[in-house]
Amino acid sequence: MCEKFNCCTEKRLRECFGHAGGRLTGPRRAMVDFFHMEKGHFTAEEVFEKLSEKYPGIGVATVYRTLSAMADFGILKRFDFGKGKVKYELSDGHEGVRHHHHLVCSACGKILEYDDFMDEEKAFFNKIKKTLSTRYNFLIKGHSLHFYGFCQKCQKEYEKAK
Amino acid sequence: MCEKFNCCTEKRLRECFGHAGGRLTGPRRAMVDFFHMEKGHFTAEEVFEKLSEKYPGIGVATVYRTLSAMADFGILKRFDFGKGKVKYELSDGHEGVRHHHHLVCSACGKILEYDDFMDEEKAFFNKIKKTLSTRYNFLIKGHSLHFYGFCQKCQKEYEKAK
DNA sequence: ATACTATTGATAATGAATATCAATAAGAGG
DNA sequence: CCTCTTATTGATATTCATTATCAATAGTAT
Ligand SMILES: [Zn+2]
Ligand SMILES: [Zn+2]
Ligand SMILES: [Zn+2]
Ligand SMILES: [Zn+2]
């Protein structure tokens, strides 16, 4: 199962789940597999529904719990685009996942990814981080950036409404 | 009341509230005043509590409705740092409010503001926006950027836990 | 002042996320 | 492989922020 993904070894997964003796259960393996196979951004509800097909009987609570654990540990990245539902995606560093940001449609909620300008961004943000850390006595662990607006499909409606 | 703030004239406020004949009511004036006087970031609940002192009897529903209207129109800026509660603050362009971003403490939720590097940021983001708009057919209306990590007070506890 | 109707506020309802807890199953040890 | 211990599961109840409902109220035009 998870051994297929050398980005998430069994050892790493055991660390992830429970700081003292986390068990590698069926539901947890299924969740890990899900995010390694299906690329994209999912709400807890979506994970529950899609996963139920392959893993019937899984409970909603387990999905929420496992998502939290994986996000806290760093395997998943948590997003909150302000639509009431939190979304998760495989974090940077996994096979085939590069650091990227999102274009979020305010109308239909569609999410586009981009990874252009990442070198320039890195240079800029590193400089910022260094200064802010010392100036505000703040230990920076990460950043969140996204652009919001309207996707191609929703632009016409927006122009009409305005 | 609101006429005190030439950044939000009565005309502008009437536009804000209801696209056809928005009435300038007591609660609405009170909300506008609140955000012009108290600088900072507030949840709906906080606005309700603090405002209740000066405007007894105001209802929660009205607070939520008015916050949404003001944010949709652009007087307020809406934040969602993923703590379950949405926060609002007076948007850029109001007297004494400059474009800025936030350092959010993952432990205690404290929010620090910074407006350093805004010229460089503007240059960088403008370039990005132009490219992304055409490349992804996306109409960009704004961006959201924040750094998360640990404030001075919470850094020790974090190091201990890790 | 009168009438018309947008708005209010008390309250019910929604819905995402979390807590509860008996039943289950992972893993250790024999 | 079997047994025991206990972390984890999943059905369910619960929380809590936000939204919907609707009769009463209050802006505003005449
Ligand atoms: Zn769209
Ligand atoms: Zn993504
Ligand atoms: Zn803190
Ligand atoms: Zn701010």
CATH of B1-94 among 1.10.10.10, 1.10.645.10, 3.40.630.30, 1.10.3720.10:
1.10.10.10
Q: What digits encode the pLDDT tens for the residues A72-119?
A: 999 999 998 878 899 999 999 898 899 999 999 988 889 999 999 999
Domain spanning B98-162: which superfamily? Ferric-uptake regulator, C-terminal dimerisarion domain (3.30.1490.190)
- Residues in chain A predicted with pLDDT less than 50, given as ranges, are 1-2
- DSSP string over chain B: -GGG-TTS-HHHHHHHS-TTT----HHHHHHHHHHHHS-S-EEHHHHHHHHHHHSTT--HHHHHHHHHHHHHHTSEEEE--SSSS-EEEEPTTSTT----EEEEETTT--EEEE-TTHHHHHHHHHHHHHHHHHHHT-EEEEEEEEEEEE-HHHHHHHHHH-
Residue B2 pLDDT > 50, yes or no? no
Q: What digits encode the pLDDT tens for the residues B104-152?
A: 998 888 999 999 999 999 999 999 999 999 999 999 999 999 999 999 9
User: Is the minimum CB–CB distance between A128 and chain B shorter than 8 Å?
Assistant: yes
Through-space separation of residue A49 CA and nucleotide D6 C1' in angstroms? 30
User: Is the minimum CB–CB distance between A111 and chain B shorter than 8 Å?
Assistant: no
Strand D-proximal residues of A, range 9-48, CB below 7 A, are 17-18, 21-23, 25-28
Domain ranges of chain A: 1-94, 98-162
CB–CB contact B148 A140 (8 Å) = yes
